[in-house]
Structure 1
Amino acid sequence: MIKQKYKGIFYIILSAFSFAFMFAFVRMAGDLPTMQKTFFRNFVALFFAIGILKKDHIKFKVEGKKNNAVLFVRAFAGSIGMIFNFYAIDHMVLSDASMLNKMSPFFVIVFSFIFLKEKLTAFQVLTVVGAFVGSMFIMKPSFSNVDFIPALLGFLGGMGAGLAYTCVRYLGQHGVKGPIIVAYFSAFSCLVTLPFMAFDYHHMSLAQTLCLLGAGAAAAGGQFSITAAYTYAPAREISVYDYSQIIFTTILGFLFFGDIPDGWSFLGYVIIVTMAVLVFLYNNFWHMQEDTAEKAKQ
């Protein structure tokens, strides 16, 4: 059991490493429209997803009107979240954009309460509020702050990802297989961004093409790794290790782009990661002790 957990930790850190490189490749692609970058990232992922569907002989079919509706919301929210996130990557310090995207687990808590009717404890409310405060230190809302709009879009991108992951949670609970969800999302994102790219296509050099292909490959690697991670260990035991991505993006941002987050951003990082660690401790220790005590009373 312990070995399984260690495998889960390894794969989730590998996922964080892969997604950090996806961020870096997107930025390295240079001055290309956000929609064009999003299209190529998802076009590569679509091929990976179709390959898995064929390999595992999975039919691209979803039963039930509600499942289809939730699948659409997942694809729509995920696409909007990715577009906003990619815009933030191009206009912010890389690690700032990455950390705002990591607000998604806290939005999952909120959206799971609203849409899935999952119980929301006072402790969870406090961690969500704490994470929001941390995000404000990164965003630094001010009309004089030229990075505020990209930061706001990065924040909204994390919100979109949170809604998308909530939908994935619902779909997984109702028998929709992962490769179908990924293929649907990738195809939907390609269709949404294709018209924008057709009207505002920028010629790409070989280096830019390779960067976008690299972004797609890194994203696929991250997706497969995180899927493997959660097959070896439950999310509550390993999800906190996903925040290692901030270490990787900070290093890559400095090495490739000379990005150095300011003091306020670092404070925001500390607050958000602290909230994530508290959620981890609550899910694995404190909450379990409360349940044990409650059962003992009964």
Structure 2
Amino acid sequence: MSGRDETAPVEKPDRRRLAGIALMCGTVAFFALLDASAKGLARAGVDPLLTTFMRYAVSVGLISLVLNPVRTPGVARTARPGLQILRSLLLFGSTALNFFALRHLQLAETLSIQFAAPLAVALLAGPLLGEWSSPRRLAAIAVGFVGVLVIVRPGVGTMHPAMLLSLGNMTCYACYILTTRRLAAFDSTATTLFYSGLSGLALMSPLLPWIWRSPDSWAVWALLVGVGLWGTLGHWLLIMAHALAPANVLAPFLYTQLLWSVALGYLIFGDVPSRWTLAGASIVVGSGLYLLAQETRRRDARPAA
């Protein structure tokens, strides 16, 4: 057999992984644009609740074009309707709290705190899912939360109250991840995606007469549509990326969103992260990568079935 034929089976998986990594980088770029659009709307005086409504209205509209009971029979059937509603509400809470926090905080600050969500997931997975962490993993989680304290700096006279909103966002997002993992045992990915924004949209719709204010420029309209568009495109690329490459290969590239957030924050809003934010973010990211490495090592050590 020629050398070219021998390498062909190896090159194909490599190309798939590279394509998955490229899609993951696109994912975080869209998520950074989502946050930047939300902050731009806050600077323009738009109510964060209206921004949240548009985030879900646009997203649900776009997803429904592809996933609906007509084109995908059975997609609305769920074995755990209560859990689907809870997951959707947790996603809504995470989004709304983040948008309120972005009125006062830099993009890099809110994102750095949100990066602690995987640490909270690893901590809560024991009592909630029976996935207990080893002492080393618990130590890494503790170090990661020290990084959050470095960013927030409570009790030193410089903590902005909006930091509490970001901490709430991180908590909601961690619970959202845990709920998603629990639902994976009962419902398909398509069903879970179908329900993702419905509860938030249903909750916000009755409030629309009180929060609606017609945008006074095309730029504001573009940003309102953008928060839904960027979020939808980001989740679409995320699904495609996981179809091409393993999660442990893709996960480290999630942290590149911090680079996008720092760049967009500086270019659009003139924000320069403080040394405390950068130091805390480095600790949180380092702890997250250590947990990921431990999980990969543990998975590789399991005997084949």
1:244 aligns with 2:256: yes
Highest Rg: 1 or 2?
Answer: 2
**1:44 and 1:231 mapped to 2: Cα distance?**
25
For residues 109-258 of structure 1, the aligned pairs below 5 Å read: 109-142=122-155, 144-145=157-158, 147=160, 149-174=161-186, 176-205=187-216, 206-258=218-270
**2:65 and 2:245 mapped to 1: Cα distance?**
26
1:19 aligns with 2:31: yes
- Structure 2: where are the runs of 5+ without partners? 1-12
TM-score (norm 1): 0.89
Partner of residue 62, structure 1: 77
Q: Is the 8 A contact 2:101 2:162 kept in 1?
A: yes
Aligned-residue identity in percent: 18
Note the alpha carbon deviations across 1:105-134, whole angstroms, 9 max, x for none. 222223322222123222221222122111
3-state SS, counterpart of residue 252 of structure 1: helix
RMSD (Å) for aligned C-alpha atoms: 2.0
Match of 1:102 among 99, 105, 115: 115
3-state SS, counterpart of residue 203 of structure 1: coil
Match of 1:28 among 40, 43, 48: 40
Match of 2:64 among 28, 45, 50: 50
For residues 279-290 of structure 1, the aligned pairs below 5 Å read: 279-285=291-297, 287=298
Q: Is the 8 A contact 2:112 2:277 kept in 1?
A: no
Report the CA distance between 1:273 and its aligned residue: 1.1
Number of residue pairs matched? 287
- Structure 1 segments (4+ residues) deviating >3 Å: 142-146
Evaluate the alpha carbon distance shift between residue 26 and residue 242 of structure 1 in structure 2; reply closer, same or farther with a 3 A threshold: same
Give the residue type in structure 2 aligned to 1:57.
T
Report the CA distance between 1:7 and its aligned residue: 2.0
**2:153 and 2:204 mapped to 1: Cα distance?**
30
3-state SS, counterpart of residue 154 of structure 2: coil
Q: Is the 8 A contact 1:53 1:59 kept in 2?
A: no
TM-score (norm 2): 0.87
- Structure 1: where are the runs of 5+ without partners? none
Q: Greater CA deviation, 156-165 or 246-255?
A: 156-165
Evaluate the alpha carbon distance shift between residue 51 and residue 273 of structure 1 in structure 2; reply closer, same or farther with a 3 A threshold: same
3-state SS, counterpart of residue 191 of structure 1: helix
1:269 aligns with 2:281: yes
Report the CA distance between 1:237 and its aligned residue: 2.4
**1:251 and 1:49 mapped to 2: Cα distance?**
29
Evaluate the alpha carbon distance shift between residue 277 and residue 197 of structure 1 in structure 2; reply closer, same or farther with a 3 A threshold: same
Evaluate the alpha carbon distance shift between residue 210 and residue 199 of structure 1 in structure 2; reply closer, same or farther with a 3 A threshold: same
